Each structure stands twice: as structure tokens, then as C-alpha cells.
């Protein structure tokens, strides 16, 4: 054993027993870095469907119902936290920050879009939430020093802009945190992944790779976002819809997808309208940092009162003149699509209107149930339904193989899912010469691992 040997400690705080609620901590010597603080939205939906009010939930209540990580496993080292790093802007990676970040005397680090979305999430709930932490904006492919650890944000592609793999350069080796990513060589809005840097890291040596495992069972490479753009083109431009309403729903943070929808809407000769608070929030954040300029050609309407007014105008002037993009791809209660289908808004669906789901149902019971309910309602109204006009923002098995081959990590920690999903990635790692329990580690929330030199 070396004199004064240091140990790398990895804390699997959240996102290792479910898909979401992501949070991991890495401690080397006297310095700890927290990676992500995510939300598990299905638990909040369950709570609201049982009559609860979200605005009444504080951090302790959210931990109790399982909506945010239980970070008490870090209580004994909280004074050593030097930074909170958010890899990208999805709620399952940053949604808990407004509730947990104040416990730690550390800056919150992220790319411009990620930080802007987080600021808007807090301002939406200004009466209840205040983040005291300093926001540190770091561009992709740039670094930030926190204590004795250098934090590097490596550009990667995903289903939202400015996503990164977080790389920690520590005295005990390099940690790569890869939640979430895909290898898109033909992205719609951004550059391709920074393969050059990933290969450099592999040559230098990577001590530990913490990597999502959602679709490690799918034997394929995840298709490019350009494929989704072509799928949308077929449905929007090559399907008869001249005299009918056309409604599209997708993930509000998927700015590249929205860009494709706007482009196709112009070619259809229709006025594009974005409806819903989350759509407005993510789009406005992208416009704030000059990532896009949808407002030039698109009406963006967030609040319900204004949505009602806009729908009255659409109904009066003729739905065939509009392409409506709205919230509700997971059939969330209160979403615009769900409210139109339930006849709670001024515009009603008519037979042969088209509803396009440019998304995939997130596979948790509450989402599956809500989508089935919504689709049954639409069918009764004789609406045309186009499902899964979509490609994933997550890696598949062959993408994982390429990542492991590039980085050649000493240890692999499958994440972003329960054990049954982690095992799929572990099986791939075994194919590539790794051993379960020796250098591939399955874990649950709230565990601690030691890696010694």
C-alpha cells in the first residue's frame, strides 16, 4: 500500500434504482463533486392524481414520496462538496436542484442552456423556491477547477442542446459521467460528438465510467435525429391533411425536433403555434442564449388563459391554417393535448384531425396508463393518430460498445435504471472482457463504493 494512499469514493445517491432521479457523488481526498440532482416526475404525478398540491411539497416531502434523491448518504461529507455539475437540462437531471442545492456551499455548473433552463425553472416557482448557490456557466469542451478536481464538460449529442459528458480529473484518476448521450453523426442543430476528446481520454486512462443503461438491451445503433426529421416530413408533408387540424406533441426540451417541425410547418403553408408552459419555458431559454429564434415565425403561448384565447382564434380562423405544437406527449394531466381531448378548452377535436406523437412513452406505469387513456379518447373522436414519429436521444447497445472501446475504463458503473437494466450493460461489458463484481459494479440508490489505486 502506498504511503498516504487516497481512495476514490463513489456514492450512488439516486437513479440507480429507477429511471430518473439521477444523482451521483465522487469524493477524492478532501474534495467532493456532485453530478446531477434529478427529479422522478411519476411520483409527483401520482401525488397530484391522489389530490395533493405540488406547490405544498418541500424537500423533505419530495424525498418521502420518492420524487427527489435522498441525499442523506452525503450528510457526513457535505462540507467537502466543491461543485454541483448538471450534465444537461432534463428534469430527471436538474429538477431536484431547487430543493437540494442549498444544502451545499458550492456553485452549480452547467452549459449556458442548462443553466438558463434551471434559472427559468426556479423563476416559475419564485414564491416557493430560491437557489442561493452561484451559477457558473461553462461552455462545452471547456473546464472549471473546483478544489483539487478539474471538471471538464465534453460535448455530446442527446435530445436537448448543449448536453455534455462530465469528466472529472482527480489525483486518483479520471471519472467519466455519461448520463445521457447518443452518438449522432448527423445532428440537426449542433455539431457531432467530440470523439477526438473521448479518444484522448481513453489514451490517457479512465479510472471509472458511470454510464446510463436504458437501452443497452437494444441490439442496434441509435438512429440520427435527421431520421426523425424525415419521419416528420412524411407525416406532415406527404399525408393528406389539407382541411383538417394537425397537432404535434414532443418533448418540450427537444429544440432540434421543434426546429424540424417549424421548418415543415412553413412548407405546409401553416402558421406554427407552440402551446403550453413547459414548451414556452424551454424555447424561451434557448432564445435567451441565441440558440434559436423561433419567435420570428412562431406564436409561443405559455399560460392557460392565453392558450384559451389563442385556441378560440384558431377555431374561428380555421384549424387547417395552423400547425399546433403542444405539451402532452406523455398525456400528463393538465397538459394542453390532454385538455383539448377532454373538451376542457375552446377548440374541440374533429374526425380526421391528426395528432402526431413525436416522442416515445417513458416506460413507467403512470405514463403508460395516461397514454392509453388519452389514445382511447382520441380514437372515440375519430382522430388520426401517428405514434412514435421519433428517434431516441439515448444510446443503444452498439453505441455503448463504441464508448467503452474508446474510453477503455478500468471500472464501469451502469446507471440511470434499476438492476434489470444495469444487467444489460453488464452483459455487454462481460463480452468485452470485464468481470461482474470485479470491475463492473451493479448498485442501488444510497450505496458507497471504494476504488483504490
Domain 225-386 has CATH 3.40.50.10710: yes
Q: What is the DSSP letter of 72?
A: G
The predicted pLDDT at position 1 comes to 41
**Residue 104 and residue 84 in contact, taking contact as beta carbons nearer than 8 Å:** yes
HSE value, Cβ hemisphere, 13 Å, CA-based, for 15: 32
**Residue 416 and residue 214 in contact, taking contact as beta carbons nearer than 8 Å:** yes
Phi-psi region of 331 (alpha: psi -120 to 50; beta: other; left: phi over 0): left
The predicted pLDDT at position 128 comes to 56
CA neighbor of 248 nearest in space, from 264, 227, 230:
264
For the whole model, what pTM was predicted? 0.93
The predicted pLDDT at position 112 comes to 97
Start-to-end CA distance of the chain, whole Å, equals 9
| 158 C-beta neighbours (distance < 10 Å), count | 29
Q: CATH number of the domain at 7-221+393-452, please?
A: 3.60.15.10
Tell the burial category of 96 from Cβ atoms under 10 Å away from its Cβ (0-12, 13-18, 19+).
Answer: buried
Cα separation, 363 vs 334, whole angstroms: 20
Per-residue pLDDT tens digits of the chain, which is 453 residues long:
444 567 999 999 999 999 889 999 999 999 999 999 999 988 887 777 677 777 778 899 999 999 999 999 999 999 999 999 999 999 999 999 999 999 999 999 999 999 999 998 887 654 457 899 999 999 999 999 999 999 999 999 999 999 999 999 999 999 999 999 999 999 999 999 999 999 999 999 999 999 999 999 999 999 999 999 999 999 999 998 888 999 999 999 999 999 999 999 999 999 999 999 999 999 999 999 999 999 999 999 999 899 999 999 999 999 999 999 999 999 888 899 999 999 999 999 999 999 999 998 877 788 888 899 999 999 999 999 999 999 999 999 999 999 999 999 999 999 999 999 999 999 999 999 999 989 999 999 999 999 987
Please give the angle made by the CA atoms of 20, 101 and 422, to the nearest 5 degrees: 25
Within 258-336, strands assigned E span: 271-275, 298-301, 322-326
**Residue 272 and residue 326 in contact, taking contact as beta carbons nearer than 8 Å:** no
Check the CA dihedral 10-13-15-21 and report its sign: negative
The predicted pLDDT at position 125 comes to 56
Q: What is the DSSP letter of 181?
A: -
The predicted pLDDT at position 157 comes to 98
CA distances (Å), origin 11, targets 22, 75, 106: 12, 12, 18
Q: Phi/psi at 165 (nearest 5 deg)?
A: -90, 130
The predicted pLDDT at position 269 comes to 95
Which pairing describes strands 23-28 and 7-14: parallel, antiparallel, or unpaired? antiparallel
| 129 C-beta neighbours (distance < 10 Å), count | 16
183, 137, 172, 37: CA torsion to nearest 10: -80
The predicted pLDDT at position 174 comes to 97
CA neighbor of 168 nearest in space, from 113, 118, 115, 210:
210
**Residue 207 and residue 410 in contact, taking contact as beta carbons nearer than 8 Å:** yes
Question: Domain residue spans in the chain?
Answer: 7-221+393-452, 225-386
Cα separation, 339 vs 149, whole angstroms: 48
- The rounded Cα 316 to chain-centroid distance in angstroms is 37
Cα separation, 276 vs 328, whole angstroms: 9
Cα separation, 228 vs 259, whole angstroms: 12
Amino acid at each position: 500500500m502506498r504511503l498516504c494512499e487516497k481512495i476514490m469514493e463513489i456514492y450512488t445517491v439516486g437513479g440507480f434504482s429507477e429511471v430518473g432521479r439521477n444523482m451521483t457523488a465522487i469524493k477524492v481526498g478532501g474534495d467532493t463533486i456532485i453530478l446531477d440532482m434529478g427529479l422522478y416526475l411519476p411520483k409527483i404525478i401520482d401525488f397530484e392524481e391522489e389530490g395533493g398540491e405540488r406547490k405544498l411539497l418541500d424537500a423533505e416531502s419530495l424525498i418521502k414520496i420518492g420524487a427527489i434523491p435522498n441525499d442523506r448518504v452525503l450528510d457526513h461529507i457535505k462540507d467537502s462538496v466543491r461543485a454541483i455539475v448538471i450534465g444537461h437540462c432534463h428534469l430527471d437531471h436538474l429538477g431536484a436542484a431547487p430543493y437540494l442545492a442549498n444544502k451545499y456551499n458550492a456553485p452549480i455548473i452547467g452549459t449556458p442552456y442548462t443553466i438558463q433552463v434551471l434559472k427559468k425553472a426556479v423563476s416559475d416557482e419564485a414564491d416557493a423556491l430560491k437557489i442561493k448557490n452561484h451559477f457558473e456557466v461553462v461552455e462545452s469542451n471547456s473546464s472549471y477547477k473546483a478544489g483539487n478536481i478539474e471538471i471538464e464538460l465534453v460535448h455530446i449529442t442527446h435530445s436537448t442542446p448543449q448536453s455534455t459528458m462530465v469528466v472529472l480529473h482527480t489525483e486518483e484518476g479520471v471519472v467519466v459521467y455519461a448520463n445521457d448521450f447518443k452518438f449522432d453523426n448527423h445532428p440537426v442543430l449542433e455539431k457531432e460528438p467530440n470523439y477526438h476528446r473521448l479518444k484522448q481520454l481513453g489514451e490517457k486512462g479512465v479510472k471509472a465510467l458511470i454510464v446510463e443503461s436504458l437501452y443497452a438491451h437494444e441490439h442496434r445503433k441509435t438512429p440520427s435525429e435527421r431520421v426523425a426529421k424525415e419521419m416528420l416530413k412524411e407525416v406532415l408533408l406527404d399525408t393528406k391533411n389539407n382541411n383538417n387540424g394537425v397537432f404535434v406533441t414532443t418533448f418540450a426540451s427537444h429544440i432540434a425536433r421543434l426546429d424540424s417541425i417549424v421548418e415543415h410547418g412553413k412548407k405546409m403553408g401553416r402558421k406554427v403555434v407552440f402551446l403550453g408552459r413547459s414548451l414556452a419555458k424551454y424555447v424561451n431559454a434557448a432564445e435567451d442564449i441565441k440558440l434559436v429564434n423561433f419567435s420570428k415565425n412562431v406564436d409561443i403561448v405559455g399560460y392557460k388563459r392565453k392558450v384559451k384565447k389563442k385556441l378560440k382564434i384558431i377555431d374561428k380562423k380555421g384549424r387547417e391554417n395552423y400547425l399546433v405544437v403542444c405539451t402532452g406527449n406523455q398525456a400528463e394531466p393538465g397538459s394542453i393535448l390532454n385538455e383539448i381531448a377532454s373538451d376542457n378548452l375552446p377548440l374541440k377535436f374533429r374526425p380526421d384531425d391528426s395528432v402526431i406523437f413525436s416522442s416515445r412513452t417513458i416506460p413507467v406505469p403512470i405514463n403508460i396508463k395516461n397514454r392509453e387513456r388519452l389514445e382511447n379518447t382520441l380514437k372515440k373522436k375519430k382522430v388520426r393518430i401517428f405514434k412514435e414519429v421519433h428517434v431516441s436521444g439515448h444510446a443503444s447497445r452498439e453505441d455503448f460498445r463504441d464508448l467503452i472501446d474508446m474510453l477503455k475504463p478500468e471500472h464501469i458503473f451502469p446507471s440511470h435504471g434499476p438492476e434489470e437494466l444495469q444487467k444489460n450493460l453488464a452483459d455487454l461489458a462481460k463480452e468485452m472482457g470485464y468481470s461482474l463484481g470485479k470491475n463492473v459494479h451493479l448498485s442501488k440508490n444510497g450505496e458507497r463504493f471504494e476504488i483504490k489505486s
